[in-house]
A and B are shown apart, each in its own frame.
Chain A
Amino acid sequence: MGYFFYYFTKFADHFILVYSCLIFATYVILSTYSGLDIINYIRKNSFIDYRTILTAPTAPSISILAPAYNEEATIVDNIRSLLNIHYVNFEVIIINDGSKDKTMQLMIEAYDLEPVPYAFDQKIDCKPIRAVYKSRIPSLTKLTVVDKVNGGKADALNSGINVSKYDYFAAIDVDCVLEYEALLKMVKPFMEQTDKERVIAVGGVVRIANSCKVQDGKIVEVNLPKDFLPRAQVLEYIRAFLMGRMAWSKLNGLILISGAFGMFDKTIAIDSGGYNHKTVGEDMELVIRMRRLMEEQKIKYKVVYLPDPLCWTEAPASFKILGRQRNRWTRGTAETLWFHKNLIFNPRYRFLGMVSMPYWLIFEWLAPIIESLAFVYLIVMAFLGILNIELFITLFFVIYTFAIMYSTSAILFEELSYHQYKKKRDIIRLLMTALIEPVLIHPMTVYYAIRGNLDLLTGVRNWGDMQRKGFAKKKP
């Protein structure tokens, strides 16, 4: 038993060290790669006139799909914002996913909607559609509202795909605020594709809108969130979006496009079977399935990621809501990895199978589990009186200083690229947040991830209520 314990502790010590070093290394490599690519992207696009797309005969038409569930607080303003998007050929499809509040009634009243006979092919499975509405107001022909039986976000998006007219669709959270040129920027990669390589999906950076001033569905003043929790998420989002996904896109290994805003080739999405109803990580699952289809059909393709801030969303402002969100993200990741387990380390799927999927398994899904186990291990060692306190403290500071260094790099990325937070004190506040976040927010996110995994094991399938304050209420 003594020998076993000795070798176990040796193994655990080395495993934790190697795993931490690998995580550090991947973060450094990915962020360096992202940085170089962002510089290239900014240079490439600095003198591009996106208005060219507005008059181009070759510009694609876009269907914007926005599922809505119990959104009575903001739905009318949100639709107005979507209808004001700067693009030429597009339709806005709002899918009321069986809301229990007055969402549908408010839409009918505000936009003078009436049910219309609407013929469509049910190319993807979805819950029954009660009615399709169009506005009586002549200037609102772009708006279509689908009223359906509740089936979740994935099901609502599938209904939207079935009803949509155009070859590309943008899936968007109805409460997001889009940048003025967001759609033009998202469309460009599709226009740049040639016969050599097909673009199957495009994602963009999602930014946090808490404390920002929103007027008529547009961000008119960008502010750093006043509250600590959303501010910590600003750092988290910059790290994830600017320092991670950009590199994955460049390596053509991106498997996650945020459900808040992404654009897809409709034919491939339909051929892949549409959104999966059986997971709460439907955004990631669809991208993997689309990629899988392309790999199996041996078609050259890519998933593009844009570093521009395209979409603004309200981040959870309380630990309760943050917990629900992270719990759901963890369950979504785990479910998706489970659905596509045969891709992991499968050379047939090239980069997707050999790098992207294993990375998500080892460094995204497993990371909080290993971190928690390491924590428990430390407590046990301390309890047994054999914890090397010197090693523990120095290791803690290595991790802590690395976390601050990584967040400071994120602030530098933001400063050198899109420079959204212009006030002098914003930088200091972000740096202060970087000092506190690793010891206050990070342990909580690890805890929520563990809860997510436990919930998954116990069969919890719900989305988790995401109460938001709404931008409209914040107007003076």
Chain B
Amino acid sequence: MSFLQIDLYEIPNTADEWGKLLYSFPIHIRILMGVILIFCLIITILFAVIIGSRIFKTNRSRTEKYIRKKYQPVFTQLLFEDDSRLISGTFFTLFDKNDLKNKHRRSVLLEELIHLHENFTGETAVRLELIYRKLEFHQDSLEKLKSRKWYLVAKGLRELALMNIREATTPILQFIKSKNEILRMEARIALVKLSEKDPLFFLEKESEALSAWDMANLHAMLVKIPEGNIPAFNTWLNSPNKSVVLFCISMIGAFKQNSAVPILIKLLESDDDSFKQAVIKALREMNALQAEEKLISMYAHESSLVQNEILRSLETIASEKSIPLYERILRQPVPELQHALHSVKGLVTLGDRGKKILSAIADLKNERLQLIISHASDARM
């Protein structure tokens, strides 16, 4: 009985015999056998890595659970009970020295503090910041800024910002021009949080385009800082960076900086549709009645998208001055759907007078128009 030239009743015993048998195969078969061997070796290594990773993760998770369980009562005591321990010399007796020295256990404690801080505000958050400082975690975070690994730097930036480490402003500044977009973003967010005056000073020299995601992050941080520290966004409306201008227009609307309305109205003269759309949206958010006439007068000369924004804003402003515009739109032979829908909604918001006009238009026996009126009059749509 044989298989691949191997007599199964005479399986080689020694290495020499195996070698002779192997060399009895043609070269291409030997190469393929070598490939099989390499694949088997890789499979074994991969398997070992999988098992090793699982053991490592299990142990790590066990340690994390242990540390969290161990320090839960400590944090409860420090945060919600008597705060005298926070300032007294007995503070450190609450923590095991070995846990503070061990790199992993220390990082678990830090993560726990960060996690708690993300979920608390006010006095509790201040206490967490004090614990963070007393345990010298800010040194750990500052050390991360020196790392070559960008994700560690980013983590450090986030921790310093979250824990209000104002002296970190200078080292953070070096990342504001980083080529790594994440670091750039994290540095911006950190500076907004930590700068007491002029939190958006970096916008002055910002040359990179801000994405909607960047803007969302900056906005999320701006809503967390004291109202008095929010800058006047019209400062950067002349920036050569288009995205900075769009961001500022959006923030004027979000923070309802009504003093900027006249400047925004001037910006409506821009040739750029994206500026116009952003401005009209901001005016809508501020319910800027003084912009109404300008919006009505410019309507006819604008692109469909800008016209749509104008109608949405007029709908919010809800003034009778818009009625002739609405009527003009609805009495067109084939009005653009979105414009017609907003016009009807605008008329509905005007109450009885608007409804009278709508019933007059509905009598025009235009089936599509009647459908549009019924659609837009339904508050669910």
Contact = CB atoms under 8 A, between A and B. Distances in A.
Interface of A: 43-44, 46-47, 49, 52-53, 55-60, 116-121, 134-135, 141, 188, 190-196, 389-391, 393-395, 397-398, 401-402, 404-405, 408-409, 411-412, 415-416, 419, 424, 427, 431
Contacts of A135: 380
A390 B6 CA distance: 11
A398 B211 CA distance: 49
27 contacts: A43-B150, A44-B182, A55-B219, A56-B215, A56-B216, A57-B215, A58-B215, A58-B250, A60-B212, A116-B375, A116-B378, A116-B381, A117-B378, A118-B381, A119-B340, A119-B341, A119-B376, A121-B337, A135-B380, A190-B212, A390-B25, A393-B4, A397-B32, A401-B40, A404-B43, A408-B43, A412-B50
B253 interface: yes
Interface string B175-216: 000000010000000000000000000000000010111011
Given A58-B216, A134-B378, A408-B47, 5 more contacts: A58-B215, A118-B371, A194-B209, A389-B4, A405-B46
Contact of B380 (A46, A116, A424): A116
A393 B33 CA distance: 10
A408 B211 contact: no
B381 A401 contact: no
Interface of B: 4-5, 25-26, 28-29, 32-33, 35-36, 39-40, 42-43, 46-47, 49-51, 53-54, 57, 118, 150-151, 154-155, 158, 182, 209, 211-213, 215-217, 219-220, 223, 242-243, 250, 253-254, 285, 337, 340-341, 368, 371-372, 374-376, 378, 380-381
Contacts of B253: 57
Contacts of A402: 39
Contacts of A52: 216-217, 220
B213 A43 contact: no
Contacts of B337: 119-121
Nearest to B251: A57
Contacts of B216: 52-53, 55-59, 191
A411 B45 CA distance: 13
A431 B46 CA distance: 11
A62 B229 CA distance: 34
A408 B29 contact: no
Most buried by A among B253, B378, B380: B380
Nearest to B152: A43
B317 to A, nearest CB: 19
A117 B220 contact: no
A424 B55 CA distance: 10
A182 B49 CA distance: 30
Contacts of A190: 212
A394 B5 CA distance: 13
A436 B154 CA distance: 44
Contacts of A46: 151
Given A44-B151, A191-B213, A397-B36, A119 B43 contact: no
Contacts of B32: 391, 394-395, 397-398
A417 to B, nearest CB: 11
Contacts of B371: 117-119
Contacts of B340: 119
Contact of B151 (A43, A116, A193, A401): A43
Nearest to B35: A398
A408 B40 CA distance: 11
A329 to B, nearest CB: 28
B195 to A, nearest CB: 20
B223 A55 contact: yes
Given A53-B216, A404-B43, A394 B50 contact: no
Which 4 interchain pairs have the tightest Cβ spacing? A56-B216, A117-B374, A401-B39, A58-B212
Nearest to B182: A44
B155 A47 contact: yes
A407 to B, nearest CB: 9
A390 B5 contact: yes
A415 B29 contact: no
Contact of A401 (B43, B154, B368, B374): B43
Contact of B212 (A119, A191, A415, A416): A191
Contact of A398 (B36, B50, B372, B380): B36
Contacts of B53: 412, 415-416
B29 A390 contact: yes
Nearest to A117: B374
A408 B212 contact: no
A194 to B, nearest CB: 4
A165 B33 CA distance: 61
A462 B242 CA distance: 51
Nearest to A391: B29
A222 to B, nearest CB: 15
Most buried by B among A53, A55, A59, A401: A401
Given A57-B254, A401-B40, A415-B54, A134 B381 contact: yes
Contacts of A49: 118, 220
Nearest to B274: A195
Contacts of B33: 394
A191 B214 CA distance: 8
B28 A391 contact: yes
A238 to B, nearest CB: 13
A56 B43 contact: no
A44 B151 CA distance: 7
Given A52-B217, A118-B381, A405 B42 contact: yes
Contact of B46 (A59, A120, A412, A424): A412
Contacts of B215: 56-58
B156 to A, nearest CB: 11
B209 A117 contact: no
Nearest to B186: A47
B28 A398 contact: no
A415 B158 CA distance: 27
A405 B243 CA distance: 48
Contact of A194 (B51, B243, B250): B243
B3 to A, nearest CB: 8
Most buried by B among A47, A193, A389, A409: A47
B172 to A, nearest CB: 16
B31 to A, nearest CB: 9
B211 A57 contact: no
A57 B26 CA distance: 71
Contacts of B374: 116-117
Contacts of B42: 405
A119 B36 CA distance: 65
A193 B211 contact: yes
